[in-house]
Structure 1
């Protein structure tokens, strides 16, 4: 964990995000307090891991106006006020191949559907939406429900795209055994996209992890890639 925190601190130093969302922290709140201070943030909401799995944390600087709306083991939703602009940011971790997977997606769908303000949702969805988002391994199973595709269609949500490497996850193997996928992304309501037409998702390089960090910049001036 200490090596990952050091790597994350180095990346944060180069990007200066006002808000950070971490999933699969595998840590309790006391540990995340230390991580928050190490990374230079003043406020947080942490969801404890269960044993050696799970755990979420949303951190933010105290100069932004944040209100926590909802949270559970897979979701942290906050409301952000920037002058006259109010919008909702949701951090999500999509469970991989568990009996609780459907419930997590149904909760996210219901939450996003209930939000009146413009919203953006980002995180590790643990799903791709097309075969083009995967390199190596088995291709998509058409008989298995794709919760992400279904939710985006139902809500009229849009994918925010990305700049940088195509894939956000790797099994860290080489040759024929290598598998890479775009599991991490940002999606948004059309009203959010209209408020932030220049907003961009950047894929940073993976350090000490099988996932690469993604950065949502609502008003990009300089690129990170």
Structure 2
């Protein structure tokens, strides 16, 4: 059972929905949490339908800031416990034993961090189910969570650490690049921090001893999506019938594939010719898709390798990789 969390920095960006579609297709999360949606309920409901989630709960943005939403796959799989402009708390019904998932968005304003810490403590006291909290905490646990010239006050480290200890929470192991947010790329003020994380109670970790947290690639937002893996996804055995895909029309080779196959089958009845063209298109598309998947993996790996580098060559290379990746995502969104 996978859960994905992302500070998307607004769902109005033209690449927001293609990026979300790719994240959902690639990682198949049972739960998807978005913060800073900058969106109202009607807009989020449209996105829920497009992403094929069955359930959804929305906390509307206020003016042009904030906004939270939680999507889930089965309407019978969970129940809302509480919510605010900073959290969505749900009870997850699991055949192997119920647990609790809280999507969390900490106050960005340092003057209100104490309110974030108080909210964590209140949520901890509200329920005794095995508990996991994930999201953008806007807080750091220790100096290793930050890289850059701007110092972080000790009282903020201590306050957040005390709140997590009082709440009985500890980090779920992060595998991959250690920072989830960056600012000032290409300048002397470049800084990276681990603002997004998943934390869990001992009872939840006992239930899911192999749980891991993985950063995943996105082409927009200054935050990296994080994927909480509890159970490995099983590959689908469903066999799809032939369908002509709109995205093929963007490929200049398409007319040649159809023309060559159709011409070589002259004298055969129309049904068999159509069937043969369909098969040829399927083989051609499979090769194209395989190439695109390899290219996408290569681009994602290049972006990961370039994370944290602040030289102009690396910055230009990352921007180019993100541009090509965005083009691939746009074609997949058309698909």
TM superposition score category, shorter chain reference: over 0.9
* In the alignment, structure 1 residue 29 sits paired with structure 2 residue 41: yes
Matched, 1:210 2:222: yes
TM-score (ref. length: structure 2): 0.63
Q: Secondary structure at the match of 2:33?
A: strand
What corresponds to 2:231 in structure 1?
219
- More off after superposition, 101-110 vs 182-191: 101-110
The structure with the largest helix share of the pair is 2
Aligned length: 224
Displacement of 1:52: 0.7
Q: Is the 8 A contact 1:130 1:140 kept in 2?
A: no
- Say which SS state the counterpart of residue 52 (structure 1) adopts: coil
Cα distance between partner residues in 1 of 2:160 and 2:93: 28
Residue in structure 2 matching 1:148, options 160, 175, 197: 160
Kept in 1, the 8 Å contact 2:150–2:191? The answer is no
> How far apart in 1 are the matches of 2:155 and 2:54?
46
Q: Secondary structure at the match of 2:163?
A: helix
Distance in 2 separating the partners of 1:63 and 1:57: 15
Note the aligned Cα RMSD (angstroms): 2.0
Cα distance in 1 for partners of 2:97, 2:48 equals 27
Distance 2:49 2:39 in 1: 15
Q: Which has the larger radius of gyration?
A: 2
1:167 aligns with 2:167: no
User: What corresponds to 1:92 in structure 2?
Assistant: 104
- Tell me if the contact between 1:172 and 1:210 (Cα under 8 Å) persists in the aligned partners: no
Unaligned runs of 5+ in 1: none
Partner of residue 135 from structure 1, selected from 116, 135, 147: 147
Q: Where in structure 1 do 4 or more consecutive aligned residues deviate above 3 Å?
A: 98-101, 143-147
Query: Unaligned 5+ residue runs, structure 2?
Result: 1-11, 235-296, 302-335
Match of 1:107 in 2: 119
Kindly indicate which of the two structures has a greater share of residues assigned to strand: 1
Shift of 1:130: 1.2
Equivalent residue for 1:38, pick from 50, 59, 77: 50
Contact 2:59/2:68 (8 A) holds in 1: yes
Under a length normalisation based on structure 1, what TM-score does the superposition of the two structures give? 0.92
How far off its partner does 1:104 sit? Answer: 3.4
Q: CA deviation at 1:147?
A: 3.7
Q: 2:200 aligned with 1:192, yes or no?
A: no
Partner of 1:179: 191
